[in-house]
Structure 1
Amino acid sequence: MQDVTSTVMAFKGSHYDLGVATAHWLKKTKIMQNREKEWKKRTPRFDIDIKETYTIFQIYAPQIWEEIQGMQEVLNIPTKQMLLNFAHYRFTDLKDSGCSVYLGDNYLLRNYDYHPATYDGRYLLFQPIDGGLAQIGPTSRITGRMDGMNEAGLVMGYNFMHRKRPQNGFVCYMIGRLVLEYCKDVPEAIQFLKELPHRSSFSYIIMDKDLNHAIVEVSPRSVEVRFDRTCTNHFKLLTHENRNYTQESKERLQRVLKNVPQHVAAQEAFKVFNNPQYNIYSKLFKSWSGTIHTSLYKPQELEAWIALGENNMPRQFSFNHWLNNDEINLQPLEGKLDTELTFASY
C-alpha cells in the first residue's frame, strides 16, 4: 500500500495564462520525462497534423488552443510535440479500462479506473476570463478532464467502451473538457456530443442543475442517448459496437445495482463505491483497471467531492464559494493505493 498525493490548483485568468501556470507546475514534476519514456516504448498509432489540428480547435475550442500556446511559451518544445502530448486530437490507443458511474437523486458518483502511470495528480479549479465556463475536477493528460462540473451545474464523467475501428477525432479526456467548457445543461451537451468528431467509443454520463440526466453512447460512427442511472463498460443501445468480452462489466453493473439502492444518500453511496469489499472499487492496477479516485458532484449545490484511493474520506469543495472569492482548502489530496505503480507526476 503506497501513499499518494494530488496537487490542488486554483486559477482565475485567461486560458493562455493558465497554460503558463500549468507549464511551470509541469516543470516541477516528472510528467514530461515519463511521457517521453512512454512514447519511446510505445510508438503512437496515429498521426499529428498541425494545420488540421489548429483548424479543428478554432472551430470547437479556440481558447484551449491559447492554453496550449501558453504552455509552449514556457516549455519551449516543438509544436508537433506539444500537440502529441496536450491537444488530444488524433488522426487515423487505448488500453482496456473500467469505470463505474451511478446517478443518484441529486448527484453523480463515479470511480475512475485506469493505470496510475497515466494519472496527472492534479485537481484543478479554473475560472476563465476570456470565454468558456468555470470548471472543477481532476485533470487528465494536463489539458483534459475525466470527470468534473462547471459553473452552470453541468456534471460529466465518461466510461470506456472499446477501441475498435478508431477514426479522426478528439479523445475522451479532451471531449470531457470541451463538454464542461462549453455546455450549460444536458440538452446542450447531447447536441455538442453529436457534433464533435470522436476518436473512440465511450459513454458520457451527464447531469445538470435541474437534475436532468442522460447517458450518451458514442462511437466514431454513431451516437445514441439513453436515460438510465447506472453505467459501466458496455453499451446498452449501440450493442453492435461492444467489445467481444463484456461479462466483467455486466457483473460489476449488477453489483452496483445490488449495493447502491434507489434514493440512497450521497454519503452512503460514496462509501460503497470507495470500499473494495463491494467489488465496485477495483485493485486491478496492472491491468489498467484499478480505481484511482472516487468522485461525487452535486450540481444544485455546486459541490464536488473527491477521494484518492480506497476507504478514504472525501475532500468536499464548495465550487460556489470559490467562484464568489471565498477561500477553500488547497492542501494536496492524500490517499492510499494498493500498488507499487506511481503517478505520472512522480
Structure 2
Amino acid sequence: MRHRHKTFQAIEVGDGGDGRWAAHARALWPEMAGLLTEEGRTRQGADRVRALFRAHMPELVPVLERLAGRLGRPGAEAFLTHAALRPFSPACTQIGDGGTLLRNYDFPPEQCEGTIVSSCFLRPVIGMQDVLWGLLDGMNDAGLAVSLTYGGRSVYGRGFAILLIVRYLLETCGTVDEALGRLRSLPVAVPQNLTLVDAAKAVTVFVGPDMPPTVAPDACAANHQHLPVTEEQERASRTQERLRAIRAAGADVAAMLRPPLYRPLDAQGLGTLYTAHYRPAEGLVTYHWPGASWQQSFGDFAPGSRTVALGRAG
C-alpha cells in the first residue's frame, strides 16, 4: 500500500475584494492556467464563455469581475467562468441522509487544491475549493449542502464545470427544491452527479450535457448514472460496489474510512483524499482522515493547515 502526505489549508477570503483570495489564487495560477482550453484562449472563445456566464449566472457577474480584476492575469475572466476548462473525472462516493451530507473525494493528491474556504461572495459559504473558486462540496448559511461525483460517461458539451455549478447553487439557493429548479437551466459540460441536502430533504440528481437533470432513485451516488455499467468500467472504478456499500452503511463516517468506500492510493496515485461530513442546519462540517479530523463552522472558522497521511484505511 502506498502512503503519502498531503497538506490541507483553511482560509477566509471574505467577498474577494480585500486581496486574501487574490494572494492565494496568484500562487496557484501557474499550475491552473493550463486547464484553460485552446478555445478559451481566443478572443472569440473568451467572449462566448463570458456571455454564457452572464446569461446563466447573472448574480455572480459582479463577483466574477471583482475576482478577475484582483487576480490580474491574462485570460483570468474567461478562466474563472469555468466554461472553458479541460474536463476532469474525480471518482467519489456520497450520501445524503437525515439532514447530513457525507462524501469521500477520490483523486490524485497533487491535482487537488486542498483548500477549505470560508467566503461571503453573495452569502456565507464554507466548502472544499478547487480551481480557484469552484467547490467540490460545501454548505451555506441557509442550511443547504451540495457535493459532486463524476457521472462516469465520456460525453462533453458546451457548459460549465460542475465545480462552479456547486458554487452557484450555494450562493443563490436556500433549499434543495430551489437548487433543483435552478439546475434545469444550467448547461453542464460533463456528466456529473450532485447530492443536495437541507433540513427537510436529500436527493441525488444526474446532470450532463446530453440529458435534463434527472433525480436518482435515492440520495446516493458513486460514478455512474442511468446507463448500465460495463465490466471494464466496474473493474476500473468499482462504482457499483461502492454504491452498494454506501447504501448498506448509510451516513456512517466509520464506513467511509474503510474499504471499499475508502480507497488507498493505487499505482496511478488515485485514492481517497478526504471524507467530508456536513451538517448544514448546524453550519458544521468535519473533514476526516484515518486517525485525524478537522471541524469548521460558520460560528467558529479556524484558518490554518493540517498535514495528513493518505493511503491508510481503518
What residue in structure 1 maps to residue 255 of structure 2?
A: 272
What residue in structure 2 maps to residue 194 of structure 1?
A: 184
> Shift of residue 72 of structure 1?
3.7
User: Among the aligned pairs, what percent are the same residue?
Assistant: 21
Kindly tell me: are residues 334 and 255 of structure 1, through their superposed partners in 2, closer, same or farther at Cα, counting changes over 3 Å?
Answer: same
3-state DSSP of counterpart to 1:195? coil
What residue in structure 2 maps to residue 334 of structure 1?
A: 307
3-state DSSP of counterpart to 2:113? strand
| Amino acid paired to 1:23 | A
Q: Is the 8 A contact 2:90 2:105 kept in 1?
A: no
Aligned pairs for 1:33-182 within 5 A: 33-36=30-33, 38=34, 44=37, 47=40, 49-62=45-58, 64-78=60-74, 80-84=75-79, 86-90=80-84, 93-128=86-121, 132-182=122-172
How many Å separate the matches in 1 of 2:267 and 2:131?
19
| Amino acid paired to 2:50 | Y
3-state DSSP of counterpart to 2:292? coil
What per-residue deviation string (whole Å, max 9, x for no partner) do you get for residues 244-281 of structure 1?
A: 744221112222234x1x5xxx6xx1122123xx3211
Kindly tell me: are residues 9 and 160 of structure 1, through their superposed partners in 2, closer, same or farther at Cα, counting changes over 3 Å?
Answer: same
How many Å separate the matches in 2 of 1:216 and 1:249?
16
> Shift of residue 134 of structure 1?
1.7
> Shift of residue 157 of structure 1?
0.7
Q: Is the 8 A contact 1:94 1:163 kept in 2?
A: no
3-state DSSP of counterpart to 1:170? coil
How many Å separate the matches in 1 of 2:128 and 2:93?
16
> Shift of residue 57 of structure 1?
2.1
1:4 aligned to 3, 6, 10, which one? 6
TM-score (norm 2): 0.85
3-state DSSP of counterpart to 1:239? coil
3-state DSSP of counterpart to 2:282? coil
Gaps of 5+ in 1: 322-326, 340-346
Whether 2:203 is the aligned partner of 1:214: answer yes
TM-score (norm 1): 0.78
2:273 aligned to 273, 289, 292, which one? 292
3-state DSSP of counterpart to 1:300? helix
Kindly tell me: are residues 244 and 338 of structure 1, through their superposed partners in 2, closer, same or farther at Cα, counting changes over 3 Å?
Answer: closer
Kindly tell me: are residues 117 and 65 of structure 1, through their superposed partners in 2, closer, same or farther at Cα, counting changes over 3 Å?
Answer: farther
Q: Is the 8 A contact 2:263 2:311 kept in 1?
A: no
Gaps of 5+ in 2: none
> Shift of residue 239 of structure 1?
1.7
3-state DSSP of counterpart to 1:305? strand
> Shift of residue 8 of structure 1?
1.0
Q: Is the 8 A contact 1:133 1:150 kept in 2?
A: yes
What residue in structure 2 maps to residue 342 of structure 1?
A: none
3-state DSSP of counterpart to 2:308? strand
What residue in structure 2 maps to residue 233 of structure 1?
A: 223
Kindly tell me: are residues 174 and 328 of structure 1, through their superposed partners in 2, closer, same or farther at Cα, counting changes over 3 Å?
Answer: closer
- How much is the aligned-residue C-alpha RMSD, in angstroms? 2.7
